[in-house]
Structure 1
Amino acid sequence: MSVVATFDHIIVGAGTAGCLLANRLSADPRRRVLLIEAGGRDRYPWIHIPVGYLYCIDNPRTDWRFRTEPTPGLNGRSLLYPRGRTLGGCSSINGMIYMRGQARDYDHWAEITGDEAWRWDNCLPDFMRHEDHYRLDAEGDADAAHRDFHGHGGEWRVERQRLKWQVLDDFAEAAVQAGIPRTDDFNRGCNEGVDYFEVNQRSGFRWNTAKAFLRGAEKRSNLTLWHSSQVQRLIFTAGEGGRPRCSGVRIIRGGEVVEVAANRGVVLCAGAIGSPQLLQLSGIGPAARLAEHGIPLVHDLPGVGENLQDHLQIRAVYRVTGARTLNTLAGTWAGKTRIGLEYLLKRSGPMSMAPSQLGAFARSSPERPHPNLEYHVQPLSLEAFGQPLHDYPAITASVCNLNPTSRGTVRLASKDPAAAPRIAPNYLDTEDDRRVAADSLRLTRRIVAQPAFARYAPEEVKPGAQYESDEELSRLAGEIGTTIFHPVGTTAMGRDTDPMAVVDSHLRVRGVEGLRVVDAGVMPTITSGNTNSPTLMIAEKAAAWLCAET
């Protein structure tokens, strides 16, 4: 098969990391960059209206629509596992929450990799480099305390939410009464506390990475974007010392199979599911598993597709009395009309909502040395995602274990590139995770029992107040738990002495030339919070390393 085009850099995946990388690399006019995206352009209107995530998840226009394997810890349930399939990737369908995690996350990465570049103090400038934080819009001293932690004028817009709910305000006060401090900034290295989340929006619209990093860069003559083009596999030639070198990719484009060459290398930004799948399809991964599918081995890397970590949210539902919630507000056509008009005229109200509005970071028990729980609190309730709201006023207090010890896998189901991979998260697989799940439900009960929330006479609908033992609560957590869409770790970075490390500390695939992975899969351990903005930070570092290379 002949090569139809040659570039300096080929980036696979125009998602969170890929859009930033394409922007940074193509800023040098001497570099010819190809950005490839399997999905289409981000022109679907519901991508840009914040509440539109309801219509983007499990929609083939915007989502890969993966499902997990039946999971023992979830009592055999299989979960929908959304991954973005459009320009902007998951930033086009996610919860829009701006969250970095905790300083200890990055210090731990530095210890794992032996590279000081990953320490919090050395990651903070990379977060700030692309940030455009609303607190710094006005000159003055009012937000001087934030200038050491936030950037302004970058591409990645961060704003406050354009709504308030009294029932959430009172939940926050109840959290304070339960011993969780207030905070005014989750992103200074210690996110312990309760407050409304900050979001990646601009004036009431979703701000995805396609808008942030591609809109202007796409006009550059040295940047080529191929959307609706799926990479089938990587192409390898002989490199120095007989090591394989990634020299290009094979793509299905416009119904034809074509090959494209890369002079300087290929960067995988296909995400914690897509990148390990593509590596395995291309012959890089555990030798025995590749042999099961008849895939010729290029390089034996046993860590590819292992070490999957995710945040499992446990959705506790409380029926309330005398509260304004979305259940009742959106329960009539008149209510829906008011909601629509408010968004049309003001870009505010429920249609501007991120999936979760109020956040809290807390400890599941007093002996925990750091906050290990994250709450996403919503003024609504439903049986499951995609189902109608309940016909009574209620709130949902979803809580997740920030540092799960369970580990899952992403493995091939077939050598057919069009076949979905087998995703086995193995939630609640360890005793520690089950204990944290039970303790987190007890903490939720303690919060809603505080005086500030008593006015609503909260009634526990899920999991049910009659369940009290560790065994009962961990089992019920498995029945009501669901993914919060934060898969990481499947192409983890580490030292050369670690046989399970897939990439080195500069994100180069071990044992292979001309190939990097730059996405959430390289995280050796999951961050203590939402994972989208940490992925941008990783891409910022990788862009600097790539640009420094001759």
Structure 2
Amino acid sequence: MRGTVASLAAAALAARGVSAGRMIDGRLAARAADNTTYDYIVIGSGPGGGPLACDLARAGYTTLLLEAGDDQGDNPIYSELGNFNIAGNDPDSRWDFWVRHSDDDAREKAFAHYTWRTANGSFYVGTTPPAGATPLGIQYPRAGTLGGCAMHNGGVCSLAQDSDWDIVVNMTGDTSWEASKMRQYLVKVEKNTYLPANTTGHGFDGWLSTAVQPARWAHDSSLPATRVLKKLAELTGQNASDVASLVNKDILGIEPHKDTRNSFYNMAQHEDKGGKRSSPNNYIKATLKDPRNFPLTVRLHSLATRVLFDTDTKNKANASVPVATGVEVMSGASLYGADPRHASATKTAPRSRFWARREVIVSGGAFNSPQILKLSGIGPAAELAKFKIPVVKDLPGVGERLADNYEGSLLALGQQPVGGGVITLMFKTPNAAGPDRNIFTWCGAFSFEGFWPGFPTDYGPNEYECAMVHIGPHSQAGTVRLASADPQVPPDINFNFFLNNGTEDLQHLADAANLLRTAWQAAGAPVLPFAEKHPCPGTGAGNCTDAAERALLKTQAYSHHASSSCAIGAASDPLAVLDSKFRVRGVQGLRVVDASAFPRVPGAFPVLPTIMLSAKAAEDIIADAKKAVHKK
């Protein structure tokens, strides 16, 4: 039936002179489709918007997908998942957001990888800049390319905690968000490559490939890494004699008490068996190439500047309700100021307008979605007035409650390599309140200390690290504020790390580091002693206090999982931006579908939960469209 609907829609498009399934490079066809009307316009092709646009087109609705970047899908830097650090540094897709972690300038500039622009235009990274250098901030790279940040990330797939889904039920009363119901969207999107077909709770026919790496090394008890693994099992209440099987546990599996049990896992990633990245880029390309001619149009190099509204529409109570009717777009390469190739001359790029007969969906991510809403007149009235932006709807919560996982690491150099492979562990620290685990860690012979131009530092074959992600941080006080009414100027972003309950969260990270450090001592000779670089520099197993660890983690914590800046919330919440169906409150025909919609950060890694959220949004939007047809 779906194919029949799509074919009919494609025929209707052809009759109007509009082709189905095409990709337009904005540089070459800047005004080729100006004033065209689509059923839906989706702004942003990342894990939220890309799959959503495909699902809408596959359901037979004419859909325009706007992407400000280009297509790097065939570039091995992106298509080979193992190149993710190179991809994160690549100026062909990199958008440099320079963020703050607090309002304290001294604390900001104590960040070891604080970045400056020198007088000759190059970057300086560190705490003692040369004379004449201009402070930029802490780098937070995003990906301006078809597929969004799923094209430069490490591909780690983990699920949200059940409470992250259930919080929407508790806020809004919408039971479709219950955790038990949300798994259907994993089944829908997943193409599992590492389990027997038809394993309960997994999908095998979706568009997103998931794979794991073999962990045969854990059978070798002579390896220092295996000794560390066994000690970690002991410290977290697992069977040390069974670690070889425990490390192959399915991290996406169905199990009782999945959010409360300390457990090793085999890290899943969105890639195929050959290590090729699987992302929205692949799904978009497959939709465009499908012989069923789904009515999807993709415009690259197309920077959405604002959503257009009809402000004369009346609701049933005869009150005016703004209705989103289209999008204004600038066409050209490197238009956005965060692009390192951006030049001021691009301000003269041509502008086009496209129209939506049904809805506009904003999927720009946690930084750009609130920016687009505000530029369109949706946001805090006082902030809009500051930039002389006419208020369409006063929504104080737009750009507020920005959240993120805290990330840190225990990094040291051994006397010899530790060997082995990656250890993936989720556990609860001793002083954490509530039943759920609060730390996701992965340990191995690598180095990762956050983001800066040229990251990471390679310390050689003896490096060993346990990277840590703090799940469920207590502080959610970040902000995304306009810096200008110019859509090419990135917003001001302040995460306000540790502003609320900061000591508690920092102690969780310190407790995790202490447990991991204790396990490391099991590596034995000839690896020991470890020369720890951070958070406790030196060679002793306990050579610094918790207070010293907390102080260092406070200045050196980093992040890469921004969410919640346009969050779903209760109707009674003045800072709620969306209802449970992703609709922007107080207007019609406008939704936000990306990680900014989550009321809090979903688990440890948001990419898979965001893809699941996108699949749910598609279902909700299509259901609403069918209801509207039925009413007519």
Alpha-carbon distance between aligned partners in 1 of 2:174 and 2:493, rounded to the nearest angstrom:
30
Residue matched to 1:280: 374
Q: Which of residues 389, 399, 402 is equivalent to 1:295?
A: 389
State the percentage of identical aligned residues.
Answer: 28
Matched, 1:158 2:200: no
Q: How does 1:431-442 map to 2 (within 5 A)?
A: 431-442=503-514
Distance 1:455 1:110 in 2: 53
Residue matched to 2:464: 395
- The change in CA–CA distance for 1:398 and 1:421 in structure 2 (over 3 A counts) is same
> Are 1:179 and 2:236 an aligned pair?
yes
Q: CA deviation at 1:367?
A: 5.4
CA distance in 2, matches of 1:544, 1:383: 39
Deviation at 1:204, TM superposition (A): 1.4
User: Which position in structure 1 is the counterpart of 2:83?
Assistant: 52
Partner of 2:149 in structure 1? Answer: 90
Partner of 1:200: 270
Question: Counterpart in 2 of 1:321?
Answer: 415
In the alignment, the residues of structure 1 paired with residue 423 and residue 68 of structure 2 have an alpha-carbon distance, to the nearest angstrom, of 34
CA contact (8 A) 2:410 2:465 kept: yes
Q: Does 1:247 align with 2:279?
A: no
Out of 151-160 and 162-171, give the one that drifted further.
Answer: 162-171
Q: Identify if the C-alpha distance between structure 1 residues 16 and 176 changes in structure 2 by more than 3 Å, giving closer, same or farther.
A: same
For residue 470 of structure 2, what is the amino acid of its counterpart?
Answer: N
SS of the counterpart of 1:431?
helix
CA separation in 1, counterparts of 2:432 and 2:484? Answer: 46
Map of 1:228 onto structure 2: 301
Q: Would you say 1:105 and 2:159 are equivalent positions?
A: no
- CA separation in 2, counterparts of 1:101 and 1:52? 26
The answer as to 2:291 corresponding to 1:259 is no
Change (3 A) 1:72 1:298: closer
> Match of 2:342?
none
CA distance in 1 between counterparts of 2:574 and 2:448 reads 44
Q: Unaligned stretches of 5+ in structure 2?
A: 1-30, 112-136, 218-222, 239-245, 333-348, 627-632
Q: Structure 1 pair 128/169, CA: closer, same or farther in 2 (3 Å)?
A: farther
Structure 1 residues 86 and 176: CA distance shift in structure 2, 3 A:
same
Cα drift, residue 418 of structure 1: 0.7
Letter in 2 for 1:411: R
Within the candidate set 408, 416, 441, 1:375 is matched to 441
From 111, 121, 129, give the equivalent of 2:188.
129
Deviates more, 1:391-400 or 1:505-514: 391-400
Structure 1 distance, partners of 2:447, 2:419, is 9
| Aligned with 1:419 (options 489, 494, 512) | 489
List per-residue Cα deviations over 1:482-525 (Å, max 9, x = no partner).
Answer: 21x11110011011111111000011000010000000011001
| Structure 2 SS opposite 1:233 | strand
In the TM superposition, what is the alpha-carbon distance from 1:164 to its structure 2 partner?
6.5
On the 8 A contact 2:265/2:424 being kept in 1, the answer is: yes
User: Take 2:181 and 2:603, find their aligned partners in 1: how far apart are those partners?
Assistant: 18
Q: 2:225–2:418: 8 Å Cα contact kept in structure 1?
A: no
Structure 1 range deviating more: 510-519 or 293-302:
293-302
Higher relative contact order (CA 8 A, sep 6+): 1
509 and 94 in structure 1: CA distance in 2 versus 1, 3 angstrom threshold: same
1:19-34 pair list within 5 angstroms: 19-29=50-60, 31-34=61-64
| 8 Å contact kept, 1:109–1:525 | no
**CA-to-partner distance for each residue in 1:330-389, whole Å, 9 max, x for gaps?**
xxxxxxxxxxxxxxxxxxxxxxxxxx9432111121554221111132312366651441
TM-score normalised by L of structure 2 = 0.76
Matched residues in 1 for 2:231 and 2:148: separation? 37
Instruction: Return closer, same or farther for 1:384/1:12 CA change in 2, 3 Å cut-off.
Output: closer
1:529 counterpart residue number: 604
Query: Helix, strand or coil for the counterpart of 1:71?
Result: coil
Does structure 2 conserve the Cα–Cα contact (< 8 Å) formed by 1:361 and 1:374?
yes
| Residues 469 and 604, structure 2, Cα contact 8 Å, conserved in 1 | no
User: Between Structure 1 and Structure 2, how many residues are aligned?
Assistant: 511
2:39 aligned partner: 8
Q: Deviations 1:286-307 (Å, cap 9, x if unpaired)?
A: 1111112221111011110111
Alpha-carbon contact 2:251-2:266 (below 8 Å) kept: no
**Shift in alpha-carbon separation, 1:487–1:175, aligned structure 2, 3 A:** same
Counting only pairs closer than 5 Å after superposition, residues 69-88 of structure 1 correspond to structure 2 as 69=100, 71=102, 75-76=107-108, 77=111, 78-88=137-147
Report the CA distance between 1:392 and its aligned residue: 5.5
Cα gap change, 1:374/1:453 in structure 2, threshold over 3 Å: closer, same or farther? farther
1:352 corresponds in structure 2 to none
In the TM superposition, what whole-angstrom CA distance separates every residue of 1:175-213 from its partner, at most 9, and x where no partner exists?
102125346122236154113311111111111211134
Residue 417 of structure 1 aligns to which amino acid in structure 2?
P
Deviates more, 1:474-483 or 1:94-103: 474-483
Letter in 2 for 1:431: T
Deviation at 1:416, TM superposition (A): 0.9
CA distance in structure 2 between the partners assigned to 1:48 and 1:58 by the alignment: 15
The 2-side partners of 1:118 and 1:296 are apart by: 35
CA 1:453–1:247 in structure 2 vs 1: closer, same or farther (change >3 Å)?
farther
CA 1:375 to 1:382, structure 2 compared with 1: closer, same or farther past 3 Å? Answer: closer
Normalising by structure 1, we get a TM-score of 0.87
Residues 58 and 287, structure 2, Cα contact 8 Å, conserved in 1? no
Conserved 8 A contact 2:53-2:63? yes
Distance in 1 (alpha carbons) for counterparts of 2:426 and 2:377? 41
Q: Give secondary structure in 2 for the equivalent of 1:135.
A: coil
In the aligned structure 2, how far is the partner of 1:180 from the partner of 1:453? 21
Deviation by residue 1:10-59 (Cα, 9 ceiling, x = unmatched): 00001112221122111133x21100000101243200122322222143
Residues 407, 467 of structure 2: 8 Å contact kept: yes
Give the secondary-structure state (helix, strand or coil) at the position aligned to 1:226: strand
Aligned-partner residue type, residue 558 of structure 2: T
RMSD: 2.4
Residues 189-198 or 401-410, more deviating: 189-198
CA distance in 2, matches of 1:477, 1:532: 25
Between Structure 1 and Structure 2, whose CA radius of gyration is higher? 2
**Alpha-carbon separation, structure 2, partners of 1:487 and 1:309:** 6
Is contact 2:42–2:64 with CA below 8 Å preserved after alignment? yes
